[in-house]
Amino acid sequence: MRVDAVGAVTGWAALRLYGAAFFDGLAPDGRTTMPVPLVSPHHLADTADSITSRASLAGHRLWVVQGVRCVGVERAVVDEIARVDDLREAVVVIDMACAARITSLARIRSYAERHPRARALVLSALALASEHSLSPQETRMRLVWVLDAGWPEPACNRIVYAPSGQILGRPDLLDMETGVVGEYNGAFHRGRARHRSDVGRAELFRSHGLEPFEVVAGDGPEVQIARMRSARERALGGVTPRRWTTDPPPGALVPAEMSVDEELDLHAWPAD
C-alpha cells in the first residue's frame, strides 16, 4: 500500500493508527481482511490491499501518525460511517472511537455540522451513540434494547453500589427504573474461572434487587429481546427489595474519572 504525495489514510485504518484498537481491519465475518481506505484528490487505482476515494483534502489538516499520513480523527470517523452505510454500525463506529478516547460526541457533531459527507447518517447515529460503551457487541446489544425492544436508553457501564458502599459491579446496561441488567459475555467469559465469577456476580446482583440477563455471540435480536423481556418480568414481579444505587453512598470508593472531552483537552489530537 502506498499513499500518494497529497493523499492520506482514512476510515478504520486511520482510527486504528490513532489508537482505536477495535478497528481491526476485519470484515463482519471476523476473517476477511478489508482493504485500507485512502483519500486523495487524484484518481488512484485500487489495489488488492487498498481502496481510494477521490475527494478534496483542502481545508483538512493531515497528521503523521506512527509514520503514516492520516486525515484527522473526526474526518476518519465520518469516512468510516460513510463506508459502513448502516445506522447501527455507524453507532458502533462512533462508540468505539469514543471508547478509545480519541474523539467525543461533541467533536464528531461539530465536524458533521460543518461538512456534508454522510451528514444525515452521522447525526442520526450520534443521537443513539454513547461515550460509555466498551465493546462493539455491547453497543449492538444496547441498540436492540432501544430500537427493537423499545426500552428507554439504559445507563452504560455505570458503577452500582450497595447501601453499605460496596461496589456490586459495573454492568454493561442498566435500566434505572426496573433494575434490569444486560451483560454481553464474549469469548473471554467461556473459561471455567470466568464463568464461575459471572455466576457469582449475577447472584450478587439478584440479592440486591437487580435482575440480569446475558447475551452471547450468535444471539440474534429476537433471542435478545426475549431475554430482556423475561428479565423485566422477573424484575417487576420480584420480592427482593431494591438495595442498590448508582449514587455513591457516604464512604464509598469513587474512582476518579474525567469526561472524554476533558481527557481530549489535556492530551489528544486537536479536533478537525
| pLDDT (average), residues 210-228 | 96
Quote the CA–CA distance of 108 and 113 in Å, as a whole number: 9
Least confidently predicted of 1-15, 73-87, 101-115, 234-248: 1-15
| pLDDT (average), residues 229-247 | 94
Most confident of 53-57, 91-95, 261-265: 91-95
Sign of CA dihedral 193, 195, 197, 203: negative
Nearest of 131, 128, 124 to residue 98 by alpha carbon: 131
Question: Does residue 168 contact residue 208 with C-beta atoms inside 8 Å?
Answer: yes
In 70-96, which positions are buried (b, 16+ CB within 10 angstroms) versus exposed (e)?
A: bbbbbbbbbbbbbbbeeebbbbbbbbb
Where do the structural domains in the chain lie, given as residue ranges?
A: 8-132, 160-237
Quote the CA–CA distance of 136 and 26 in Å, as a whole number: 13
The reported pLDDT for the residue numbered 29 is 83
Quote the CA–CA distance of 167 and 174 in Å, as a whole number: 15
The reported pLDDT for the residue numbered 207 is 95
Residue the block writes with cell 481502496 = 51
pLDDT band at 205 (very low <50, low <70, confident <90, very high): very high
Most confident of 2-16, 26-40, 163-177, 256-270: 163-177
Radius of gyration for the alpha carbons in the chain, expressed in angstroms and rounded: 21
pLDDT band at 238 (very low <50, low <70, confident <90, very high): confident
| pLDDT (average), residues 177-200 | 77
Question: 10 Å Cβ neighbour count for 113?
Answer: 11
Average predicted confidence (pLDDT) for the chain? 92
The reported pLDDT for the residue numbered 2 is 64
Q: Which three cell numbers stand for residue 121?
A: 447518517
Report the percentage of the chain scoring pLDDT > 70.
Answer: 94
* pTM of the complete model: 0.92
The reported pLDDT for the residue numbered 152 is 96
pLDDT in tens, 4-39: 677 999 999 999 999 999 999 998 888 899 999 999
Quote the CA–CA distance of 141 and 124 in Å, as a whole number: 18
Residue bearing the bigger pLDDT, 208 or 195: 208
